[in-house]
Structure 1
Amino acid sequence: STASDQMTSVWDTVFTEEQANRGQAVYQGACGLCHGRRLNGAPDDPDMSSTPPLARARFLRIWGGRSLATLFSYIRATMPESNPNSLTEQEYTDVIAYMLSVGGMPTGNEELPTDLQQLAHMFIQPRP
């Protein structure tokens, strides 16, 4: 089987540090106002409206077992709340890389792709 047919975990170094850094910049401009500086959402941050966490244990409980394609499609269709689908595919993908980095997933040498078929083979899972 080819590499694209194999299932990959978010723990398998699926994004780069540089990509996560780009995602952090996008996040701070487009997402942080609602989801918080630390991606904790509400109620962990008393200044925030009621938004879900985007990293760590509670994020894994919500999104565990789903593919990054599902996450990408959901974020693109619904975020930013005031203007959904207003970022580029690269920006949405970079934000996901940032979310994964905050969640403690390791960086690697390959960037997270923007291609939904490739993202469909990458799964959000608890730490192995």
Structure 2
Amino acid sequence: MTRVTEATKRSLLALVPLVLIAACRRDTPDVREPLGARVAGLAHPVLSTHGARAVPASTTSLPPASYSADQAARGAQVYKATCARCHPPGQLDGDAFAVAWNEARVSTLYTTLRNTMPQDKPGSLSDSQYVDVIAYLLQRSRVPAGAAPLAPDSVALRGLRIAVTPRTP
């Protein structure tokens, strides 16, 4: 029977952060399917292009989400600095975003992002940064900007739905 000494355990534990740091410093983006994309029972996957989903009746009466152009610009900066290393622009917005998130509550998207992203440190952004990234994704997905920014308030976000403008032929 092999015994692992405390010194060996400490040495192995010291390697864990180095491996995680090395995994985050890739020269090419990670284009694997995002976390949660195929989790059974997840109502709104992070990214789904596998057919349309049913629109929950409870959201159709909610007002559509709006954001400010300044907020989307801040979100673009956060996205470029934090998200784009794994999710190049175009992967999580546009048609893919519309299929996965149109008519969903903004709070569901917020909770999903906060609980799963960034993949190496979920929950590490501020509430405002997560909401700014949502504003950026909305902008890239043809949701028109308004005068007021999205509030980083889970109660307020629960009362709004994502309403992607259909693409005109």
Q: State TM-score, norm by structure 2.
A: 0.59
Q: Identity rate of aligned residues, in percent?
A: 33
Deviations 1:54-90 (A, max 9, x none): 2111211111221000000000000000110000000
Residue aligning to 2:154: 116
**1:98-121 superposed Cα distances (whole Å, 9 cap, x missing partner):** 001111211111010111111111
Of structures 1 and 2, the one scoring higher in RCO (CA 8 A, sep 6+) is 1
Residue matched to 2:143: 105
Matched, 1:28 2:80: yes
Asked if 1 retains the 8 angstrom alpha-carbon contact of 2:74 and 2:132, the reply is yes
Which residue pairs with 1:40 in the alignment? 90
Structure 2's unaligned 5+ residue stretches are 1-60
Q: Is the 8 A contact 2:135 2:150 kept in 1?
A: yes
Letter of the 2:90 counterpart: N
Find the structure with the greater CA-based Rg.
2
Match of 1:66, SS state, is coil
Q: Give how far 1:25 is off.
A: 0.5
**For the structure 1 residues 109 and 125, does the alpha-carbon distance in structure 2 shift closer, same or farther, using more than 3 Å as the test?**
closer
- In the TM superposition, residue 32 of structure 1 has moved relative to its aligned partner by 0.5
2:103 is aligned with what amino acid?
G
The runs of 5 or more residues in structure 1 that have no matched partner are 1-5, 42-53
Moved over 4 A (4+): none
Give the distance between the partners of 1:87 and 1:98, measured in 2 at CA. 15
Q: Distance in 1 between matches of 2:83 and 2:164?
A: 24
